[in-house]
Structure 1
């Protein structure tokens, strides 16, 4: 089984949306019905991710098995953090958002993070309090819990950061 990651292109939109819907189902099955609901992320957000070169597909043997957005910071929702603090507030970082996979896939986060850490040494992410699988994946990948952030709509998220050997992003 060979896994590669590539940027999504406009014609990949239906595939990305199918993976997002699969992610919604997986979240619901794991006790997290509220994080994405029925309308997040929006089609417009996904289209913007693709147009801006921030949407990616994890391919296995030529088939898309996961999607994610990998976006250079700063992220406006990360400007204020409560409870604890970011590990590093001065260095440039990238944000991992909108991770979703086909049902029954394993090792998705490890594959995604292996790729992302070839591009930057500083990654932040956040997730809903009910998203135990994502919290577990971030902990397994040795991300540090940094506190609570609020999305633009006011929803609370648990925030994480990991810093590997610092180097300049290759994007």
Structure 2
């Protein structure tokens, strides 16, 4: 598998994967991503900021998409709870992981998160933060299996609450 930056030419495939993820979450009665988020504008913004990535299989087909950055996440400034690291610690953030229908439950999200952790370690960044919906038990299971610690609740700009996790690398 190969990870590369997303290009605007990938947008159609990415949106197909995101639309599948939205349907999948809805089928599990999880209201995450049921409000039109993430949309093409958000993905294009990620692309323009060089923070959008795709995962390709051995045939160079796009099988997953995600956003990864080392920029501070504003919604992480306030938490009901406590981060493992202090506010001055540089950290990585992953958002918007979505996997193609044919690749669900095959360890793709773990592969992506582990890859991002390795990229942080190469930059001597010692922390990764990520948040997820309270009903997204699948992602919570993945995070716990990778050694992430539940730190508390953050509030998105939309007002929605998310469970916040951190891992010291």
Q: TM-score, normalised by structure 2?
A: 0.90
Aligned partners of 1:70, 1:59: CA distance in 2, in Å?
A: 16
Contact 1:148-1:156 within 8 A present in 2 as well: yes
Query: How many residue pairs were aligned?
Result: 160
Identify the residue that residue 60 of structure 1 maps to in structure 2: 57
Identify the residue that residue 69 of structure 2 maps to in structure 1: 71
1:85 equivalent to 2:82? Answer: yes
Aligned partners of 1:134, 1:119: CA distance in 2, in Å?
A: 21
Aligned partners of 2:155, 2:35: CA distance in 1, in Å?
A: 20
Q: Decide which of 135, 145, 160 is 1:155's aligned counterpart.
A: 160
User: Following TM superposition, by how much is the alpha carbon of 1:38 offset from its aligned partner in structure 2, in angstroms?
Assistant: 4.2
Identify the residue that residue 145 of structure 1 maps to in structure 2: 150
Q: Decide which of 92, 95, 103 is 2:93's aligned counterpart.
A: 95
Identify the residue that residue 109 of structure 2 maps to in structure 1: 109
User: Following TM superposition, by how much is the alpha carbon of 1:114 offset from its aligned partner in structure 2, in angstroms?
Assistant: 2.2
Deviations 1:101-151 (A, max 9, x none): 112421012210221012213211101111111111111111110100000
Instruction: Give every structure 1 segment of 4 or more consecutive aligned residues whose post-TM-superposition deviation is greater than 2 Å.
Output: none
Deviations 1:48-101 (A, max 9, x none): 00111101111111111111000223111000000x210002210111000101
Identify the residue that residue 128 of structure 1 maps to in structure 2: 133
**What is the RMSD of the two structures over their aligned residues, measured on CA atoms?**
1.2
Aligned partners of 2:97, 2:41: CA distance in 1, in Å?
A: 16
Higher helix proportion (structure 1 or 2): 2
Runs (5+) with no aligned partner, structure 2? 121-125
Runs (5+) with no aligned partner, structure 1? 165-171
Contact 1:68-1:97 within 8 A present in 2 as well: yes
SS of residue matched to 1:134? helix
User: Following TM superposition, by how much is the alpha carbon of 1:29 offset from its aligned partner in structure 2, in angstroms?
Assistant: 2.4
Aligned partners of 1:19, 1:123: CA distance in 2, in Å?
A: 24
